Structure 1
């Protein structure tokens, strides 16, 4: 017999109503009545980060788009090739939950001195920040075909991919998490980056999770800024 969810917090967020609830030993985040993420597994979220870090330069800077339940950030901090990490999360409630109720699940990753948490929308913050990264990991939606808000869709279009490329160091790696296949997005990635690698992660029920991987050109025509 499954346990009934217990609502721990409910409030208005950028994307609408946000709910943190507990189901037995696990936690779930619900956005506008739609399941967003939980703490039951996290294998694909960790793979998103480790796959990017494995392919980027040692000691490089990693950007994680979306804090979620902290599993991606923890994986980044634990990876031997990652120097420092910037995680961008637009929902302040999610940041607060990770500093409170959820912190023991990821070893209080936000307190690590190598981690910097930015409270903001990645689409607005990234082009204005002027920072360059050796790896960018995106986990802000359920995938290119299932965005949390309509505005996020721009991130997966050609202009969004141009913006992401502009924030990658030469040879930098882009990794995108998706709860299902998106042939159209994969085609845009290939058009922009050339070769695209797709990792398939089986799940207990339904379509497998995917991680799309692409690498920026090793040479760039403009100067780059490293912070």
Structure 2
């Protein structure tokens, strides 16, 4: 049995105090890992279904193999792990703004950490995903201008509820066009959101991509005695 509560790490960062916690849930009899930014909960290992579906729904839009993928946001590693579970993936570049979060994985503080750090296809890049999306140099510091087959993002709570007001431009048609410039023809962009499907954002996607769809992803919520849901947006560029 795990400890009832432990604050594994606590760090001051440019965007606030980030902490990694582990607690024993008496109802489910499992260890739960949680990340907080200041007093706001960012993620919990109890609710990882949609983070995994972000990878699965996004990659399902691709045909063939040898895919190069960007994952925007590392967190507990659920999306990154689901990407690597697809044998068609050749490389995964995980962009994370906070070196402290990358350090949790490099130090083996999380259940998925070893499987990510030991996979030769996986690489962590410390950087601001949104600034990199807007720049011509893109997401790979070792190969500026490199294009990818899929870009999967789980950073903000939703297109309307961002962690930083500076992220807002990313969710406009202009911001999405800059992002699309980092994709191969036929490439896929997918986004996790904690909110219900947003028609305005789906319309913005449709201005840039050939197809755009909002998927509602339900999951069991043991505390509410029923189900909750997240949204995964999936958009694909015109194939060559």
Counterparts in 2 of 1:175 and 1:107: CA distance versus 1, 3 Å: same
Aligned to 1:12: 12
Give CA-to-partner distance per residue, 1:32-53, whole Å, 9 cap, x none: 2111011113111111001111
Q: What is the TM-score when the length of structure 1 is the normalising length?
A: 0.88
More off after superposition, 187-196 vs 45-54: 187-196
1:132 equivalent among 147, 150, 153: 147
Give the deviation of 1:66 after TM superposition. Answer: 0.4
| Structure (1 or 2) with the greater strand fraction | 2
**Residue 123 (structure 1) aligned with residue 138 (structure 2):** no
Give yes or no for contact 1:99–1:108 (8 Å, CA) kept in 2: no
Aligned to 1:222: none
**Residue 216 (structure 1) aligned with residue 237 (structure 2):** yes
Aligned to 1:171: 186
Q: How does 1:1-227 map to 2 (within 5 A)?
A: 5-24=5-24, 25-57=31-63, 58-126=65-133, 127=135, 128-129=137-138, 130-181=145-196, 182-203=198-219, 204=221, 205=224, 208-219=229-240
Structure 2 unaligned runs (5+)?
A: 25-30, 139-144
Question: How far, CA to CA, are the matches of 2:58 and 2:109 in structure 1?
Answer: 25
| Structure (1 or 2) with the greater helix fraction | 1
Give the deviation of 1:7 after TM superposition. Answer: 2.0
More off after superposition, 189-198 vs 165-174: 189-198
The alignment's C-alpha RMSD in Å is 1.9
Give the deviation of 1:107 after TM superposition. Answer: 4.0
Give the deviation of 1:158 after TM superposition. Answer: 2.0
Question: How far, CA to CA, are the matches of 1:148 and 1:115 in structure 2?
Answer: 26
Q: What is the TM-score when the length of structure 2 is the normalising length?
A: 0.84
Give yes or no for contact 2:210–2:238 (8 Å, CA) kept in 1: no
Give yes or no for contact 2:202–2:213 (8 Å, CA) kept in 1: no
Give yes or no for contact 1:18–1:29 (8 Å, CA) kept in 2: yes
Question: How far, CA to CA, are the matches of 2:164 and 2:90 in structure 1?
Answer: 31
Runs of 4+ in 1 over 6 A off after TM superposition: none
Give CA-to-partner distance per residue, 1:134-155, whole Å, 9 cap, x none: 0110111111122111112222
Structure 1 unaligned runs (5+)?
A: 220-227
